[in-house]
Every structure is written in C-alpha cells, then in structure tokens.
Amino acid sequence: MRTFIRQLWPAVLILAVFTVLTGVAYPLVATAIGQAAFHDKANGQLIKVDGVVVGSKLIGQNFTAPEYFHPRPSAAGVNGYDGSASSGSNLGPLNPDFLAAVADRVAAYRTENGLAADALVPVDAVTASGSGLDPEISIANARIQAARVATARGLAGTVVDALIRTYTDGPRFGVMGEAGVNVLELNLALDRLASR
C-alpha cells in the first residue's frame, strides 16, 4: 500500500499544480491583460447611445424598416439573431428547403430595393452566415440598399454613400477576408443625422 501511495502522490501533486496554473492563474492573467490592453474589445465592443447599451459592433441585429440598412439573414434561433443559439442553418447548397428560402429572399430583396426581376443580388443579402450573427454586409449589398434608405429618409444619395464609406471596415490585418459595412453603426449614424 505504501508503494501505491508513494507512486500516487506525484500524480496528485502534478494534478493540483496544473489545475492551479491552467485553471486559475492563466485565466486570471489573460483576463487582466485583456482588460488592461484591450478593454473595449475584451468587453464585446459595446455601443451605447445616451449611456444605454444598444448593441455590439461584433453581433448583428435585425432591422426590417425601409429607412434602415438590413443585415445579412440569420439562422441563429427561431427568429434569427439569437446570440444564445448562434449557428448556421446546416442545410447544404442543394437542399430543397435551402434553395426555396434563398429564392424567397432573392425575390423579397429585389422587391424591397426596387430592382428588376433579373437583377443580380449579392450572396450575403440572401444567405445566412455560419454564426447567424454577422454584423457586416458587403459593400455591394450596402450600395444597393442605399437608394431605398435615402428615399425613405429623404436624404441625398451622396450623404448615404458617404456614411457607407465611413462605416466600412477593411479586411482584417489588411489581407484576411473582404471589406464590410457595419450595419448597426451605419443605422445609428443615420438616426443621429435625422435627430439634428
């Protein structure tokens, strides 16, 4: 029995040491560094209006009114944009349900933006992302929606185009992905413009 305990003791000691190091010390140090060096990013890049949190720069929200830019469709949760149910639809590109949903979205997008029945539609306007919570839309998608938003708000197209450029983020690190337009920030800027 003594031999067993003598052999077990180093394993228990190693377990305790690594539990403290990787389960307590490392998370505390990583959190402290994140809060000190990247406070805004570590806390979700929350956006406040008049001191009230209205969303995050990192998570998409549903906008449906004609005076707002509409986000990418979401398959996260029953009604979409549910952060606790972040996911894609998991339907393959040849799935009949997926194809029917995309066809419906294409028709709706063309109608709401006053496009011809055969006009090309940006893919991000009619397909959900893997997370279902994309905060950005493509520049092409934003430019197509700009005419509808400008008309609904009584703004000149050049004003809306300037806002699109302002809220366009380039590719990550200059090379990863494509440039995108943050929908929440753009819509909040439009609301600020209207309140002047």
pLDDT tens, position by position, 40-55: 778 878 888 888 888 8
144 to 23, 74, 177, 195: CA distances (angstroms):
49, 19, 21, 24
Q: Are residues 8 and 69 in the same domain?
A: no
Query: Is the pLDDT score of 195 beyond 80?
Result: no
Q: Does the global pTM surpass 0.95?
A: no
Q: Which residue has the tokens 């398959």?
A: 75
Say whether both 34 and 101 belong to one domain.
no
Residue 138 shares a structural domain with residue 156:
yes
Assess whether 25 and 112 both reside in one domain.
Answer: no
The length of the chain in residues reads 196
3-state secondary structure of 182: strand
Structure tokens at 46: 């929350």
Helix axes 157-166, 139-153, angle to 10 degrees: 140
Give yes or no: residues 96 and 12 share one domain. no
Query: Are 120 and 184 within one domain?
Result: yes
Q: How far is CA 95 from CA 80, 90, 98, 108, in A?
A: 20, 10, 5, 20
Looking at the structure, do residues 97 and 149 belong to the same domain, yes or no?
A: yes
118 SS3 class: coil
Q: Verify that 110 and 58 share a domain, yes or no.
A: yes
User: Do residues 14 and 87 both lie within one domain?
Assistant: no
% the chain with pLDDT above 90 = 52
Q: Report pLDDT digits (tens) over 69-121.
A: 999 998 887 777 887 778 777 888 899 998 999 999 999 999 999 999 999 99
Residue 54 vs residues 38, 83, 172, 182: alpha-carbon distances, Å:
21, 14, 25, 14
20 shares a domain with 76:
no
Query: In this predicted structure, what is the pLDDT of residue 55?
Result: 86
Domain holding 35, by residue range, is 2-39
Q: Do 30 and 50 reside in the same domain of the chain? A: no
Please give the DSSP secondary-structure letter assigned to residue 24. Answer: I
Query: In terms of domains, do 92 and 135 share one?
Result: yes
CA-to-CA separations, 90 to 34, 74, 87, in angstroms, rounded: 33, 12, 8
Which amino acid is residue 146, in one-letter code? A
* Number of structural domains the chain divides into: 2
